[in-house]
Amino acid sequence: MQRLFRRVAISMIAGGMLFAAVTPATAITGGTEDTANKYKNVGMVVFYLPDARYRCTGTLISARVFLTAGHCTYQNVGKAIVTFDPVISRTAEEAERDVPRAADDSGPADAQSSTGFTSSDIKKPKYQGDQKWFLATARTHPGYSDFTDINNWNDTGVFILETAPNLPTSPIAPANYLDRFAKTFNKTEFLTIGYGTEVRQEGTNMKPAPERQPIVRRYTTEIGQKLTAQVFQTNGNDNDPRAGGGTCFGDSGGPIMNGGYVVGDTSYGYTDNCRYLDGYQRIDIPVVRNWILDCVADLVCPTKQ
């Protein structure tokens, strides 16, 4: 069974409950910390669902359109906040200090809001390295199946930023771009980027497991494994000699790229330790790509919400 672990509760940043075994959202295993801010238009979004505060990854594809996964935008409470800083926190204390909460979120034990974020919840950076946050509104692909129909997955969404961050943007792939690799997919290399949890041995853990800190932007390479009409999979094991690793909890919605194009968004995985196969929503297929282009064109797009 696919484990939908790409979205992760913000409690993975600030303490509290760990993620459920089957939850949409995941972090780069292996790979490289992007402390040099190489991929400066890949950001982290923090948002509320009715049960908790969560985080995902996404990509700026136009001045104000932040591309992510549909399960990161579906049924959001109010507005979200996005940052493009490469380092969010290295300790739980830093996360609790720096990651904003909605005004009606009373603390780690609750991590809930009935209003979501407002402009009053965002403070100006107080020191070098403090994050800059942008208020954003979620839009979900109207065909998103909430993981019930593999033939109509459509796990894509966007956040419309209220102000432009004045950063570079990444182009989405031409229509049906991935079809050209159908015969060589298991030899094709992809780039993945995200803010997911780090998988490592910690304390008394005998096996590598997702850890709460640090929360930083990472990138790695993966080799294709399977291509379908809706989604594709890659080999996400950091011991694969052909590439560098894979995605994990918190990388949800982050970009997977080839040839300079965003070809998919991080959607699902198969294991709790993020060492097997990674699944991505194709954004080059017309049913998804055309919706994204509509969003970019006028910042108004049909939505499932």
pLDDT digits (tens, 9 = 90+) for 88-147: 887 778 878 888 899 999 877 668 999 999 999 998 776 665 689 999 999 999 999 988
DSSP state of 169: -
DSSP state of 293: H
pLDDT of residue 49 exceeding 60, the answer is yes
Amino acid at 90: R
In sign, the C-alpha dihedral spanning 260, 264, 265, 267 is negative
pLDDT per position as a tens digit, 185-227: 999 999 999 997 766 555 665 665 555 667 899 999 999 999 9
3 state DSSP class of 151? helix
Supply the pTM of this predicted model.
Answer: 0.87
* Adjacent-strand bridge partners of 149: none
- Angstrom distance (rounded) from CA 49 to CA 125: 26
Residue 240, classified by CB atoms within 10 Å of its CB into exposed (0-12), middle (13-18) or buried (19+), is middle
pLDDT of residue 12 exceeding 60, the answer is no
- Whether residue 171 is preceded by a cis peptide bond, meaning omega within 30 degrees of 0, is no
At 19, list the tokens. Answer: 């993620």
Cite the DSSP H helix spans in 55-134. Answer: 92-98
CB 252 within 8 A of CB 72: yes
* Adjacent-strand bridge partners of 232: 227, 280
Mean of pLDDT over the chain? 83
